[in-house]
Amino acid sequence: MKALMFNGIKALELVDVPVPGAKSDEMLIKVEACSICGSDLRIFYHGSHRIQKPTVLGHEIVGTIEFLGDNIKNKYEGLYSEGQRVGISPAVPCGRCYWCKNKLQNVCDNLKIFGYEFWGGFSQFLLIPSTAIENGCVIPVPEVLSPGEAALIEPLACVVNAQHSAGISPGDTILIIGAGVMGLLHFKLASLYGAKKLFMCDKVPERIINAKALGVENAYVNNELKYRLNKRGADLVIVAAGTKSALEDAFKYVAKRGKIVLFAGLPNAEDRPIISSNQIHYNELSILGTHGSTPEQYREALRIVSEGRLSLKDLIKEEVTLEEAISIFEQQNFLDNKPGRVVVFPNK
């Protein structure tokens, strides 16, 4: 099979490798689509301590079941079948630790993630280990969704996790920092949850133009925001851009007794930003980190989109093959110039 192999920082190559052999308690997925996440780009340019190279990246995955092990057929009779379309909730928990027992699988003490510890979706086939199946990470996806929409269920699930954790009150003023795909998903979901006073900012003018075209009325380039936001500031600030400057902006615009949600991660070399502990103390601020999602949150995201309550179609900007995907990774300013998800089709 063909796979996009990550060999180290700025080193991707298209290779031929054997199709993984699935055991009796595993399944093999033929990958239909896998979209490129900002975290994939961050790994490409900065690496990750979690990854043992060489490996295959990609965690926003949809595909069809190519092979079911006999034990899986017997244990999950009626739930899975060969040829069935499925999505992958990529954070695979152990199911045994304190966090798993309290339904917080995304912070499992023994978490393993597709595209990190397990090979990911930038390959024609993907082996699904028994732990992923046992913990509910393989989820049937209806055919009504396009491949790109199905791949974007995973990032939407992460947004579901963040907004459930933060709490969305209709009367709150909410600021989303970052007008990329994740920021736009936050806007869409917060609107669905009843938020009325929504603002968005980004340092890249092209992203603001794109956001306005997608219905974000109060979207501004960073230096314009201070003239548009009320003097009190935002009750909730969602940092959906993985830069230190975005975090600094959050502290500029958060209201007293407000909440800052750190949704986007930073490269390891940059994850020690300077923040004002006195501002947190005297203004009674709350700082909340959110990461990934649980299988149940993936299912909620899937229900929202399948029922037509939220559209993902306008966030898909390009569809490419595995070979074409290499050039996407190598364009450092690609996301600035062309906001939207790029969806990779490994079997085209």
CATH number at residue 235: 3.40.50.720
30: three-class secondary structure by DSSP: strand
pLDDT > 90: percent of the chain:
82
**Residue 223: what pLDDT?**
85
How far apart (Å, rounded) are the C-alpha atoms in residues 211 and 209? 5
Q: Is residue 90 part of a domain?
A: yes
Task: Kindly tell me if the per-residue pLDDT of 182 is higher than 80.
Answer: yes
User: Could you tell me the two tokens for 44?
Assistant: 């490409």
Is the same domain home to 335 and 202?
Answer: no
- 99, 109 contact by CB (below 8 A): yes
DSSP string spanning 29-97? EEEEEEEPPHHHHHHHHH--TTPPSSEE---EEEEEEEEE-HHHHHHTBTTB-TT-EEEE--EE--S-S
How far apart (Å, rounded) are the C-alpha atoms in residues 267 and 3? 25
- 162, 290 contact by CB (below 8 A): yes
Is the same domain home to 146 and 165?
Answer: no
Q: Is residue 216 part of a domain?
A: yes
> Looking at the 3D structure of the chain, how many domains does it have?
2
pLDDT tens column, 252-298? 999 999 999 999 987 766 666 677 889 999 999 999 999 999 999 99
Whole domain around residue 30: which residue ranges?
Answer: 2-152+312-344
- 203, 222 contact by CB (below 8 A): yes
Is the same domain home to 85 and 189?
Answer: no
Is the same domain home to 255 and 134?
Answer: no
How far apart (Å, rounded) are the C-alpha atoms in residues 173 and 237? 9
Task: Kindly tell me if the per-residue pLDDT of 226 is higher than 90.
Answer: no
Task: Kindly tell me if the per-residue pLDDT of 169 is higher than 70.
Answer: yes
Q: Which of 219, 228, 262 shows the shortest CA–CA distance to 243? A: 262
How far apart (Å, rounded) are the C-alpha atoms in residues 131 and 9? 29
**Residue 271: what pLDDT?**
65
User: Could you tell me the two tokens for 160?
Assistant: 């579901």
User: Could you tell me the two tokens for 11?
Assistant: 């080193």
Is the same domain home to 9 and 56?
Answer: yes
How far apart (Å, rounded) are the C-alpha atoms in residues 152 and 111? 21
How far apart (Å, rounded) are the C-alpha atoms in residues 31 and 65? 9
How far apart (Å, rounded) are the C-alpha atoms in residues 190 and 208? 18
Residue bearing tokens 């990750």: 48
The C-alpha angle with vertex 160 and arms to 156 and 164, in degrees rounded to 5, equals 170
Q: Is residue 306 part of a domain?
A: no
**Residue 332: what pLDDT?**
67
Is the same domain home to 143 and 7?
Answer: yes
Is the same domain home to 146 and 12?
Answer: yes
Q: Is residue 297 part of a domain?
A: no
Q: Is residue 298 part of a domain?
A: no
Q: Is residue 121 part of a domain?
A: yes
What integer best gives the mean pLDDT of the chain?
Answer: 94
How far apart (Å, rounded) are the C-alpha atoms in residues 196 and 174? 9
pLDDT tens column, 115-150? 999 999 999 999 999 999 999 999 999 999 999 999
Q: Return the number of other C-beta atoms located less than 10 Å from residue 307's C-beta.
A: 8
Q: Is residue 168 part of a domain?
A: yes
User: Could you tell me the two tokens for 195?
Assistant: 């938020």
Half-sphere exposure of 5 (CA within 13 A, CB side): 11
**Residue 303: what pLDDT?**
98
Q: Return the number of other C-beta atoms located less than 10 Å from residue 103's C-beta.
A: 11
Is the same domain home to 115 and 233?
Answer: no
Chain centre distance of CA 233: 27
How far apart (Å, rounded) are the C-alpha atoms in residues 207 and 243? 16
Task: Kindly tell me if the per-residue pLDDT of 70 is higher than 70.
Answer: yes
Is the same domain home to 177 and 238?
Answer: yes
Is the same domain home to 142 and 73?
Answer: yes
Q: What is the CATH number of the domain that holds 319?
A: 3.90.180.10
Task: Kindly tell me if the per-residue pLDDT of 237 is higher than 70.
Answer: yes
Q: Is residue 63 part of a domain?
A: yes
Is the same domain home to 148 and 179?
Answer: no
Is the same domain home to 30 and 124?
Answer: yes
